[in-house]
Structure 1
Amino acid sequence: MARRLSYSARYTHPADQLYQALSTRQYWDDLMKGFRDLTPQSDVDSFVTDDGGLRVVLKQTLTRDQLPAIAQTVMMKDMVITREESFGPFDAEKATGEYTASIPAGPGSLTGVQELFPTDTGCTIRRTTEVKVFIPFVNGKLEQLMLVNLVDLFRGEAEFTSDWVTENL
């Protein structure tokens, strides 16, 4: 059974400025540089921006000893996470996109949709995630663990993004 989570990051910056940051390769490079404190192998694998919007592929490696005990029971090697994010073209009312995270031979999937829209005080990115783990008996625990860690990830990235926009745009 899949588990779902909706998370909203609120910004004081206007939506077009936030979209501009997401459309900048340097933003993603700086984000991965920050991740290297936690996962030394964190890189932008590809980045494309054009009239159709933006698409970025990130690769991060967590060594097996960095994984929680329950995850070590199913992951016998280092965990390589490939994360893809996209947004369609900027729209002043709402820009939409998708994201996925995958692990080769991983025991599940993580997919989501995201929306960037203006608010009275700036803008919001709302992400709705679905996590599925296909291992009997531990699937629910692993799904919940993934969602808890995802909230921490989204919260940290929102803080980084806000600071990055303030300093760079």
Structure 2
Amino acid sequence: MPRTFTLSEHYPASVEQVYAVFADEHYWRARLAESGADVVALEEITVGPDGGVDVLTKQGIHRAKLPALAAQFHPGNLDLARHETWHPVRDGRARAQVVGKVVGAPAKLSGDAVLAPSSGGCELRLTATVQVDIPLVGGKIESFIGGQLAELMNTEQRFTLAWLRQGGAASTT
């Protein structure tokens, strides 16, 4: 049975400032490089005429680093393909659809994100549903992925904060 998670992060910057970062190819390349994944690729970033942003990324983790539960059900390295579609800022908010899948495995994620004003800046709120179609243990893997999603979002938020503070040249190392 799919599991839904709601996560949020605060940024001490305006919606427009954070959205501009999300439209920056250099930001995405740097964020991926700092992600901790063994293999990373910015497959595509497109900023449309209306200012909308489409981002496709891939991140891979070597099998030796996978938790036992994941390694038991997934042969080889774990490759995650992610697609974010950000719509331009309207009425002070930016919205996105996020879709992810583990390549070659019955695991997928879909969700909606909203970047909205909040006290002292803005908040990114993500509601995501994780579905793993493996009988008996799918729920455990979904819970594990939810925890990893929260950790990943926290890591990405720290990177984005550093990027904003340093005017577009962050390194968390």
> What's the TM-score once normalised by structure 1's chain length?
0.94
Letter in 2 for 1:89: P
Instruction: Work out whether 1:137 is the aligned partner of 2:136.
Output: yes
Secondary structure in structure 1 of the residue aligned to 2:136: coil
Instruction: Work out whether 1:154 is the aligned partner of 2:123.
Output: no
1:117 match: 116
Q: Distance in 1 between matches of 2:58 and 2:104?
A: 15
Q: Distance in 2 between matches of 1:15 and 1:156?
A: 19
1:15 match: 15
Residues 55-96 of structure 1: per-residue CA shift (max 9 Å, x gap): 111111111111110011111111111111121012242111
CA contact under 8 A between 1:92 and 1:118: conserved in structure 2?
no
Displaced runs of 4 or more, over 3 A: none
Letter in 2 for 1:28: W
Letter in 2 for 1:41: V
Residues 83-130 of structure 1: per-residue CA shift (max 9 Å, x gap): 111210122421111111112221221111000111131001100010
Letter in 1 for 2:38: P
Secondary structure in structure 2 of the residue aligned to 1:114: strand
Give the aligned length: 167
1:41 match: 39
CA contact under 8 A between 2:15 and 2:94: conserved in structure 1?
no
Mark the CA change 1:2 to 1:143 in structure 2 (over 3 Å): closer, same or farther. Answer: same
Mark the CA change 1:71 to 1:2 in structure 2 (over 3 Å): closer, same or farther. Answer: same
Instruction: Percent identity, please.
Output: 28
CA contact under 8 A between 1:16 and 1:92: conserved in structure 2?
no
Map of 1:68-83 to 2, 5 A cutoff?
A: 68-83=67-82
> What's the TM-score once normalised by structure 2's chain length?
0.92
Map of 1:22-61 to 2, 5 A cutoff?
A: 22-35=22-35, 38-50=36-48, 51-61=50-60
Q: Distance in 2 between matches of 1:86 and 1:152?
A: 21
Letter in 1 for 2:163: W
Flag structure 2 segments of 5+ consecutive residues without an equivalent.
Answer: 169-173
Q: Distance in 2 between matches of 1:15 and 1:56?
A: 18
Q: Distance in 1 between matches of 2:58 and 2:4?
A: 23
